[in-house]
Amino acid sequence: MIAPTRAEELAVLRSVIYASLFDYPLTLDQLAASLGVRAGADTIAAWWRASELLQSAIGHRDGWYFPAGRYDLIETRARRESLSRELLDRDRHILATVSKMPFVRMVALSGSLAHLNAEGSADLDLFVITAPNRVWSVTVALLVISRLLGWRKRLCLNYVVSESAMAISPRDLFSANQIIHLRPIVGHRVFERFVKANAFVRDFYPNFDVGSQLSANSSRPARWHRVLERALDIVVAPAMERMSRVLYGWHLRRRAAQWRSRDQVRLEPQCLKLHTSSHRASTLARFDDAMTKAATRITFTAGWCSSSPDPCPRRDHSSSSAR
């Protein structure tokens, strides 16, 4: 039996507690992927069996790991997964349209639908990678199309970056957490390049496996797209990019006073990050509170705290974006 160290116990507890903030029990593979220390799924299961501390704080049933006593999360996850699949099936035409747009290289789900954990009428939160120098025109084109077709209340482009500038910043735990939870729909090779361009992710999540994010049956854009793109490059695309950057940039800056989280917005030539209503601070506070209560319940002693760095684990963050 493998006895975990205190740091390993804290890492496991931290991952389970964080997921529970979103009423989300974890499978063993998901627990391994979100762990801040290097360990395989079998090792983590052995840690749980060998640790009285983990068994007192973390429940395990039917393959799920959750805070002790929260058996209700299993039913909640099943209900939300069913709803999420219904929403994705309803909006598959939207995803198909976004994926087939000229100059789009990758489309990935983010947010609750990426986890199949939607509640109510969830947005389609998307992370999009475009061809170089086409970030703004692709964004504006999709916003116009979504408004004309009545999708505007469902489609949310919260991050659009160019494939020529895929290294995102800041290179911190928050950004790493966003990347490991993306679910690519199209552009798997681009996604692999994107992860390589952001190798810092494995500093925070050493068990992250790119292959686990890729769906075997995802479609690829039609080859005629490149022909259309070449024609657009000759005729209108460069001018549309400049015009979109000027006009949409002016619109966004005019609305800046309404943003709750200006620090989570980037308006750059090769990057549009529109996390205008971030839940980062509130999630962080809830996580601190949950970890403090867990620490009190299982009476951690040496080395425990809720806010300072080592030996306490670094904290995870989450944000959502507004239109």
- Segments of the chain assigned E as strands: 26-27, 58-61, 64-67, 104-109, 124-130, 155-162, 183-186, 265-268, 271-274
Q: What is the pLDDT of residues 46-92, one digit of tens each?
A: 999 999 989 989 999 999 999 999 999 999 999 999 999 999 999 99
Residue 234 placed within a domain: yes
Same-domain check for residues 134 and 197:
yes
Give the count of domains, the chain: 2
Number of Cβ within a 10 Å radius of residue 169: 11
CA distances from 91 to 97, 104, 106, 143, 321 (A): 10, 18, 18, 16, 19
Domain residue limits at 65: 1-70+279-323
CA distance 164 to 167: 9
What ranges in 236-279 are assigned the alpha helix state H? 237-254
Last residue of a domain, one of 238, 256, 274: 274
Same-domain check for residues 265 and 289:
no
Residue 77 placed within a domain: no
Same-domain check for residues 61 and 160:
no
Residue 113 placed within a domain: yes
Query: Who wins on pLDDT, 41 or 178?
Result: 41
Same-domain check for residues 138 and 261:
yes
pLDDT of the residue at 307? 36
Same-domain check for residues 258 and 284:
no
Last residue of a domain, one of 240, 259, 274: 274
pLDDT of the residue at 309? 33
pLDDT of the residue at 218? 52
Same-domain check for residues 145 and 244:
yes
Same-domain check for residues 7 and 50:
yes
Q: Which residues make Cβ contacts (< 8 Å) with residue 200, sequence separation at least 6?
A: 171, 175, 176
Same-domain check for residues 100 and 222:
yes
Measured over the CA atoms of residue 182, residue 44, residue 211 and residue 62, the dihedral's sign is negative
Residue 85 placed within a domain: no
Phi-psi region of 88 (alpha: psi -120 to 50; beta: other; left: phi over 0): alpha
Residue 304 placed within a domain: yes
Q: Residue 262: is its pLDDT beyond 70?
A: yes
Residue 297 placed within a domain: yes
Same-domain check for residues 36 and 106:
no
Least confident among 34-38, 40-44, 248-252, 298-302: 298-302
Same-domain check for residues 48 and 122:
no
Same-domain check for residues 310 and 183:
no
Residue 320 placed within a domain: yes
pLDDT of the residue at 296? 73
Residue 76 placed within a domain: no
Q: What is the pLDDT of residues 285-312, one digit of tens each?
A: 788 788 877 777 665 433 444 333 333 3
Global pTM value: 0.84
Same-domain check for residues 126 and 157:
yes
Q: Are the CB atoms for 99 and 107 separated by under 8 Å?
A: yes
Last residue of a domain, one of 257, 274, 291: 274
* Average pLDDT, rounded, for the chain: 84
Q: What is the pLDDT of residues 115-165, one digit of tens each?
A: 899 988 778 999 999 999 999 999 999 999 999 999 988 899 989 999 999
